[in-house]
Chain A
């Protein structure tokens, strides 16, 4: 685990450059002058002069603490994300408890408890007390958290608004008692100050499974229901994490449970080294500074993926140096040459086995649990690459049922299983939904708008590095490669939806048709009886039987070669489609406030059994939690 020294070099730099424009504080002006002239090396040195915590304390909106409502949500989000990550890394099916306690009009206490591997005592102060301290930033591995800012920032926000320290109770081992710590953050030093450190016997009861962590933060906030609420966040988290069980105690002291619908943990994502094409010059220079390799050739081979000896040679050659050049002799000019060489040389795309998508079946299970619709479909795209980072797109659609029919479709977005609630219109996924031609799938779509109808579109991006538009992780940046994959996944699901809707339309027509036939058959039978003397009743029954057979036949469609296609059977066979017969939906509660009715603790009828994904990975013995 690296120290703070190296950690902030990249991230804060970019953040500050963003913050520069709106503020005119002397601090940021200093940053500006520095930036325009400085080399990477001087930059790294000077940065230690301001504490990251100080910076983020002043610019907390960058981390999602812009207003009381969002602050409350962000706090929960960071805590839940960490809890999930910890459980998964520990190979434990997450069992998350969330409580929001309203202490005053604007005062809340947030408690988030998990059954993860726990945190060793020595690490607690670093994890919760330092910004940009974490396990996830320096590796390329799919995880919810990335930068190591979240939970400490939440603690910092709580401290700043209420003066109360963060309370952490953690039990890293079954045989040892849980320890309880109160931590305050010293923003000027970006380090924690331990207020108290105790062991309480009764704390052990919090963790019936033997291990786990509980975080308690008191903060100024505002609780509102509806869109972008804690409720919505947890609902969507449950959709994207069907393997997790979430219990939520609302400020109104109501308990809502989002039950687990898949009993298998997702495969553990593999960690990969960065791909040469995915890094920027600045990053390259930093990597050169930090590398343990002595020579450039070794550096390229060891610190990157997809670079072998011959490729390393080729890159060095193109850059005008050799693979035996000493790393310490590589200056800015050489680094730039190296960077350009990397762009020029052909390289294999990064490995994609590092990605663990939700999987269409688990995704369906999640949607089934979370959205009351009649038609569900999901699709997982094969992995692709943007800027050297592998990623994978998944899309799920839910249609009909109790979803509001008159409104535009709802897009729910996820990045590495984390719901994105803000800045929808900035998000690549939202643009991809606009791009797809929903008219082809029997939905109306006004120009430049989302499709209309009882539709929920779920888009998930799994990647070792999700390109967010900001640190508060609210929207995915609009890369062509990402947008294209999203569009393809949407189209795949859309086609199935179109098939279903056309079938439904046909069924409606069929019943109309049958009633028309039935109406006239009686007349025909009567007249025929009078003409030929054949018994009208007998005739009527024969004709009625035929009418039924024919209307059923009309439902069948012919494929390109003229064979009868049984679409119903085909859709039913499709493992990526689930159809809940419409009559099971509760018509009384039609379409009002899906935000409220998204979940139902009662088990759904006719739910398809979820996958038993082979769990081939060998669970690593419980490690000390790498949190953040």
Chain B
């Protein structure tokens, strides 16, 4: 990673919302104001308890399975109310407390300057030697990343709202025209590489200009995405093709959510037949455990799973070569997933996982290539769509 150089892109972008007049800029300003207020509140609380000789603290909602609840009516994961209190006057927390305040201060700087930084950039921004010692505020980035996540949840503000973004991953192509920071992006003319989905896909940055597509096909990884793109699948089927590089980053999820919510497009997922693929689907659909507090802005409860299915080995008459034996870890993970509250009541899913476990092997989407190079684009997916054969 090009260390600090990652600043470049955001600087370019960040100027636009401020300079471009219109609704998006106002939205940004309002949102920033709100975020700044939240940071202020945090600071004030610390100052208040400090001056009152009380132990200053920050409450950080816990990001664990036990503290996530499945909201059945909304069909998304929500964060519970359990929070961990981070105190200054506690030996094991003192440093983290200091780091939290430091990052809050850093985010305030960013917002006021109207600029954004990557996680790594943020690490460098807050990095300095503590006065009178030779100890640094952070030992490495792995220390600052979780603290920033803590700050997000405790402020109840998204990372984007704090003007921090993660490394971007994910590609889009299809019958849609976007506006990204004022630049018009025609996703029909993205060549073989596609347009890379920015890590911040908030309406202030990305707006949808024109969309003819009828649905979104999300695939797990780039190999398959390229296959579809090369076969002009989005053209023949009038859709949008997205890819999230495995576990989709926030930007991709946020974009999927907006495509679904704002444009009413159904989302179909083509993922591997293994616990990992199942979990990716679950993340797109209900939200992730780690970011449960953001589910309502990211989850697509109506997303459908079109494949690969455990039965496809027989249905598509695949060769033995595509079988990948399930490891012990896969088996435990599959069992865990089967017991998640959002899977447990779904008979088809229970059967699917059972079948995979009974098979004793997993399959990747790429395995369809063994049939024919374009089998997946020309036969498999069109067939599933036509039969409306998905898992929900």
Contacts and interface: CB of A to CB of B under 8 A. Distances in A.
B89 A527 contact: no
Nearest to A538: B51
A440 interface: no
Contacts of A542: 50-51, 53
Interface in A39-85: none
Nearest to B43: A531
A520 B98 contact: yes
Nearest to A550: B89
B50 A520 contact: no
A527 B132 CA distance: 17
Contact of B88 (A531, A534, A538, A543): A543
B49 to A, nearest CB: 9
Given A523-B130, A545-B53, A531 B135 contact: no
Contacts of A528: 43, 46-47, 50, 101, 105
B47 A532 contact: yes
A520 B94 contact: yes
B97 interface: yes
Nearest to A545: B53
A544 to B, nearest CB: 10
A531 B105 contact: yes
Interface in A512-526: 513, 516-517, 519-524, 526
Contact of B55 (A516, A527, A546): A546
Contacts of A531: 39-40, 42-43, 101, 104-105, 108
B131 interface: yes
A206 interface: no
Contacts of A539: 47, 50-51
Interface string B40-77: 10111011001101111000000000000000000000
B133 interface: yes
A528 B47 CA distance: 7
Given A528-B101, A530-B105, A531-B104, A546 B46 contact: no
A532 B88 contact: no
A65 B44 CA distance: 84
Contact of B101 (A523, A534, A549): A523
A524 B40 contact: no
B91 interface: yes
A330 interface: no
A452 interface: no
Given A517-B94, A523-B101, A532 B43 contact: yes
A6 B94 CA distance: 82
Size range of the interface on B? 20 to 34
Contacts of A550: 55, 89
B39 A517 contact: no
A537 to B, nearest CB: 12
B102 A517 contact: no
Contacts of A549: 53
B104 A520 contact: no
Given A531-B40, A532-B40, A524 B46 contact: yes
A49 to B, nearest CB: 81
Interface string B350-374: 0000000000000000000000000
Contacts of B95: 516, 520
B355 to A, nearest CB: 54
B101 A527 contact: yes
A547 interface: yes
B102 A523 contact: yes
A517 B89 contact: yes
Contacts of B40: 531-532
A460 B281 CA distance: 80
Nearest to B91: A513
B281 to A, nearest CB: 41
B137 interface: yes
Contacts of A545: 53
Interface string B107-131: 0110000000000000000000011
A528 B56 CA distance: 11
Contacts of A527: 43, 98, 101-102, 104-105
A117 B56 CA distance: 75
A543 to B, nearest CB: 5
A524 B98 CA distance: 5
Contact of A543 (B42, B50, B91, B132): B50
Contacts of B88: 517, 520-521, 524, 543
A546 B132 CA distance: 20
B45 to A, nearest CB: 10
A517 B130 CA distance: 12
B130 A522 contact: yes
A527 B47 CA distance: 10
B53 A516 contact: no
B110 to A, nearest CB: 12
A229 B97 CA distance: 61
Nearest to B39: A531
A523 B51 contact: no
Interface string B253-291: 000000000000000000000000000000000000000
Interface string A112-154: 0000000000000000000000000000000000000000000
A520 B43 contact: no
Nearest to B36: A531
Interface string A537-574: 01100110111011000000000000000000000000
Contacts of B51: 534, 538-539, 542
A543 B104 CA distance: 19
A530 B55 CA distance: 20
Interface string B132-154: 11010100000000000000000
A516 B91 contact: yes
A522 B39 contact: no
Contacts of A532: 40, 43-44, 47
Nearest to A535: B47
Contacts of A534: 47, 51
A616 to B, nearest CB: 56
B100 to A, nearest CB: 9
A614 to B, nearest CB: 51
Nearest to A518: B132
Q: Which of A516, A517, A539, A543 has most chain B Cβ within 10 Å?
A: A543
Contact of B56 (A513, A519, A524, A538): A524
B221 to A, nearest CB: 41
A516 B44 CA distance: 23
Q: Which 7 A-B pairs have the closest CB atoms?
A: A531-B43, A527-B105, A520-B98, A532-B43, A527-B101, A534-B47, A523-B98
Given A519-B135, A524-B98, A546-B55, 18 more contacts: A513-B91, A520-B98, A522-B132, A523-B131, A523-B137, A524-B88, A524-B97, A527-B101, A528-B46, A530-B109, A531-B39, A532-B40, A532-B43, A534-B47, A534-B51, A539-B50, A546-B54, A549-B53
25 contacts: A513-B91, A520-B88, A520-B95, A520-B98, A522-B131, A523-B98, A523-B101, A524-B88, A524-B97, A527-B98, A527-B105, A528-B50, A530-B108, A531-B40, A531-B43, A531-B108, A532-B47, A539-B51, A542-B51, A542-B53, A545-B53, A546-B53, A546-B55, A546-B89, A550-B55
Interface of A: 513, 516-517, 519-524, 526-528, 530-532, 534, 538-539, 542-543, 545-547, 549-550
